[in-house]
Amino acid sequence: MNFGPLVVFPAGQDALAASEVFSSDTGKTYWVSTESPRANATQPDVVGSGAELVQSQWFRKLEPGATLRLVVTATNLETIDSGGAPTKEECPWLTSQGGFFACRRVHSATASFDARAFWLEGQKDVLHTGGFAELNGWKGVWDMGDVYPAADATAPFWSPTSFNLERDLDLDGGKHGRMRLRAPITIDVPLSEVKVGDRFEVFVIAKVHATNRRNRIDGVDSYVSAFFRDPAVDDGLGFDFAGLEPVEPAGVAPHDSPAAPAPPCTTGADAAAGTLHFSKIVVAGFARNVTTTGLGMVRLLP
């Protein structure tokens, strides 16, 4: 999906902003990428984009020593900006005390990954892993934002030390920033509990988002992208297995089940329960004239 021409962009990439979602015929190689459109954040323009892949694959265990390994080959978050500190128009939540923290997401590139392996006959997850990563800021102050693994992960994924942050890639005063995964991440799915003949599902969600609120006036322009792959190579996420066979989807995994509705509150307010007090109010930001667009794909394999 294309969003129109770009004025500035990294060397080796074309001049069209786009979101892409790819999954091979077998699902063994897949990736997502997105670039923010060129727009004016003070107008009702699209200033962000995203791409999401949801992929479900089922397997049967054939051998006691069967293995399955997930691989995250590359993650690349990239920004270019020729302006300075954001203006009130670009950052409407800017206050005298806000500074960088309030406006850090004027440019924002994010990537998130979540993977689960659900054993059908055992009715439980044997793996949950994933994480979120962000690059934000503006010229001269590019910063590694939130980087964390999934809260209830059963296997490690990434941390801030997993990434290399380059704040001045072109040595031109910090116009070009980039944050890249230092090395591929491999995740071995633990299959020792799964009995030979049993089935399990590997369920993956990969997402990227790019937001650019910089006004394109007076010669100032900027660029934001998020790639769950190397931008120069069509290889980002994948898996390898042995001692397994792909099978048709079977059963309903927990992530497919609708959430139970909350029970009705029949007692009303209880004055004896006391009150909850907050010591202060901290506003991280407001959304105004922020519209995003994107691309999604859901695959059930084989």
pLDDT of residue 194: 97
Distance CA 151, CA 128 (A): 10
Strands 237-242 and 29-35: antiparallel
pTM of the entire structure? 0.81
Q: Give pLDDT tens digits for 23-51.
A: 888 888 888 999 988 766 556 667 788 99
pLDDT at position 234, please? 61
pLDDT at position 280: 43
Find where tokens 């009702």 sit: 44
CB atoms within 10 A of CB 264: 6
Predicted local confidence at residue 257, as pLDDT: 47
pLDDT, residue 273, reads 67
Cβ pair 137, 103 in contact under 8 A: no
Q: What is the pLDDT of residue 125?
A: 95
Positions in the chain short of pLDDT 70: 39-45, 96-100, 215-219, 230-236, 251-263, 265-269, 271-302
pLDDT digits (tens, 9 = 90+) for 212-238: 888 666 667 889 999 987 665 566 678
pLDDT score at 281:
40
> DSSP states of the chain as a string?
-EEEE-SS--TTS-SEEEEEEEE-TTSSEEEEEEE-----TTTT-EEEEEEEEEEEEEEEE-STT-EEEEEE---EEEEEE---SPPTTT-TT--TTTHHHHHGGGEEEEEEEEEEEEETTTTEEEEEEEEEEEEEE-TT--EEEEEEE-TT-SS----GGGEEEES-TTSSSS-EEEEEESS-EEEE---SSSPTT-EEEEEEEEEEEEEE-----TT--EEEEEESS-TTSS--EEEEEESEEEE---S--GGGSPPPPPPP--S---GGG-----S---------S-EEEEEEEEEEE-
pLDDT of residue 130: 95
